[in-house]
Structure 1
Amino acid sequence: MTSTAQPLLSVREVTMAFPGRRRGTAPVRAVDGISFDVAPGETLGLVGESGCGKSTTGRMIVRLLEPTTGSITYDGRDISHLSQRELKPLRRELQMVFQDPHSSLNPRQTVARIIADPLLVQGSSAADARKRAAELMDLVGLIPEHIDRYPHEFSGGQAQRIGIARSLATNPRLVVADEPVSALDVSVQAQIVNLMEQLQQELGLAYLFIAHDLSVVKRVCDRVAVMYLGRIVEIGDRERVYTSPAHPYTRALLSAVPLPDPAAERARERITLLGDPPSPAAPPPGCTFHPRCPKARAVCRTEAPLLRIAAAGERREVACHFPEAA
């Protein structure tokens, strides 16, 4: 659900620059000045090609990475540069679900310890933490009696349920889900997506849902932000973005999503982008998409477009000199 309430999360002009691989080389701007809000109880989808900065953005939100510039405000408080000691009480409210369910779980720990760890860090007793872990296993559809098993004894979908249970241990308000279903079979993906929606309704969670599968994003998200080479090029309500994309990159991404109707699939236009995305270590001048854009003109090669309202009365913004008409 969308909301006009005060944002739970507010990201403003955030950048993340990593040092170059060799001494003296330019830094790599993995994220380059992005801004967005997430309202309480809302799901914002963050989509784009691999390497566009989606996961880096998610890790900055939960402060696994410290942004180079810009501000990240959670519940009215700037958390961009808080120390680890200052962040500790906030960790209860900001949690993350990782992409690979097995590699994100410690193979030497039992499920009981994996789920209870956040509670133990926050000061809960071992008995209370174990009891809570069993409750969470039941909540995410696992058998509580399996609490003393190890991660390798579970399937991929079950392991991801363990990861989700761990993220819920401290009763968070915002969960960053970094490609939570991309490593799973299609049938299991649907189960995990349904579980996340159910948990959102029951617990009032807000999600930042990072994915490259646009079909999944359409299913679960209220709003969608499209990233390209570290920047947001379009953001708005799901229905508007999917039915009438304004940015050429968004149109190209959506044209690659298979349609269930064979006749419609054959009849529609397939947009093929030329070349590979430029390196974030040496982005092109002007609009970073212009080397691959079928609509690029002279101004696109020299002037970077700003993210602005796509049309009067719309809750959608696009960074393009020549956006598609609604």
Structure 2
Amino acid sequence: MTTLKPAAGPAPAPADGSAPPLVSVRDLTMTFPGKRSATGRRGAPVRAVDGISFDLAAGETLGLVGESGCGKSTTGRMLVRLLEPTSGSITFDGRDVTHLSQGALRPLRRHLQMVFQDPHSSLNPRQTVARIISDPLLVQGWAAGDARRRAAELMDLVGLIPEHIDRYPHEFSGGQAQRIGIARSLATSPRLVVADEPVSALDVSVQAQIVNLMERLRRELGLAYVFIAHDLSVVKRVSDRVAVMYLGRIVEIGDKKSLYEDPQHPYTRALLSAVPLPDPAAERRRERITLLGDPPSPAAPPPGCSFHPRCPKAQPLCKTERPALTVAAAGPATREVACHFPGD
């Protein structure tokens, strides 16, 4: 099987804080204008992402989890500059890329790639696999012959038959199509890949294959991932650290092991209580936390802590003062939590 070299540039650094982060996000927000009604009046603006901050080391995988509509996908699209942030900053490899023009951003595009949720809708049905995978290379100035050979190498790398390079997306299964999407994202030897629900549209057996593939590629190529998902079992399998989002904000972030074993935020505890356990006896013994009501609208968030209308341990303080993301545990398993009353 073909082995490709990592992208040119600084070598991947360990995710232990000993080197500057590959990606640094500070106070990032994204506000969309409200929809117009039938009478022409525009509704309240929607604050999809509300001031999030985190760092990502080279070679690290950060899992981003939360309910639908919490701002996960919007965050991922801002990281690769498919969306222009409303405010805040995104620094990639020491360079502020928040508001770079398309011309200034083009040389950096090769280092920032994305894998989309639905493999078939993200692949052009009128193009062959050869063209789909080699397009990013052609944009970067590669010769057509070299780009085609690279596409064949990538197909082999992701477990597809290179001889199928002239087929069209509809001739592949969902899992194979997602492998094509991964191959396309790797074409330019990126350093950061944002994977937006990359396995949610696939069968369980195929999910395991894609997750194992992405893990192997991370080890071989030194990739950094932002892995967006709502399946906490998958996130636990692939991530080094996990960030939990609720209504556009990160409410808990930290080391995967400590977060799963001892969640500090009530919302994190509720999410983890819904993850099935492989042991039937343990599954019967544990208490399932059921949240009441639906998540508030990002167009009209509640005052104070945005989670307080559904929180089983909300106090009067939670209704008036929004908690900041602060360190709840130090040391190797550093954890930050946005809660006035973290823990049990």
| TM-score normalised to structure 2 length | 0.93
What's the offset of the Cα at 1:26?
Answer: 2.2
1:50-199 aligned within 5 A: 50-199=68-217
1:137-190 Cα deviation digits (max 9, x unpaired): 000000000000000000000000000000000000000000000000000000
In the aligned structure 2, how far is the partner of 1:95 from the partner of 1:37? 18
Q: How many residues align?
A: 325
State the Cα distance separating 1:2 from its structure 2 match: 2.8
Give 1:25 shift: 2.9
Equivalent position SS for 1:291 = coil
TM-superposed CA distance for 1:312, in Å, is 4.4
- State the alpha-carbon separation in 2 of the partners of residues 264 and 198 from structure 1: 32
Structure 1 residue 3: deviation in Å?
A: 2.6
Give the match's secondary structure for 1:282. Answer: coil
Q: Distance in 1 between matches of 2:330 and 2:301?
A: 31
Q: CA deviation at 1:242?
A: 0.1
SS of the residue 1:107 aligns to: coil
AA aligned to 2:127 is Q
Q: Which amino acid aligns with 1:73?
A: T
Q: 1:311 & 1:230 partners in 2: Cα distance?
A: 23
Q: Which residue of 2 aligns with 1:285?
A: 303
Structure 1 Cα separation of the partners of residues 98 and 257 of structure 2: 32
Percent identity reads: 83
1:230 Cα deviation after fit: 0.2
Counterpart among 224, 248, 251 of residue 269 in structure 2: 251
3-state DSSP class of the match of 1:127?
A: helix
One-letter amino acid of the counterpart of residue 173, structure 2 = S
Residue number in structure 1 paired with 2:313: 295
The SS at the match of 1:200 is: helix
**Equivalent-residue separation in structure 2 for 1:122 and 1:311 (angstroms):** 45
Task: Pick from 6, 13, 16 the counterpart of residue 3 of structure 1.
Answer: 16
- Deviation for aligned residue 1:311: 2.9
Runs of 5+ in structure 2 lacking a partner?
A: 1-13
1:200 aligned onto 2:213: no
8 Å CA contact 1:3, 1:42 repeated in 2: no
**Residue 30 of structure 2: aligned partner:** 16
1:323 Cα deviation after fit: 0.2
Partner of 2:3: none
Q: Counterparts of 1:278 and 1:302 in 2: how far apart (Å)?
A: 16
Secondary structure (helix, strand or coil) at the match of 2:76 reads helix
Superposition deviation, residue 54 in structure 1? 0.2
Q: Which runs of 5+ in 1 are unaligned?
A: none
Where does residue 334 of structure 2 map in the other structure?
A: 315
1:235 aligns with 2:253: yes
Maintained 8 Å contact 1:3/1:40: no
Amino acid paired to 1:8: L
SS of 2:236's equivalent in the other structure is: helix
TM score, norm. by length of structure 1 = 0.98
2:60 to 42, 45, 54: 42
1:36 & 1:183 partners in 2: Cα distance?
Answer: 28
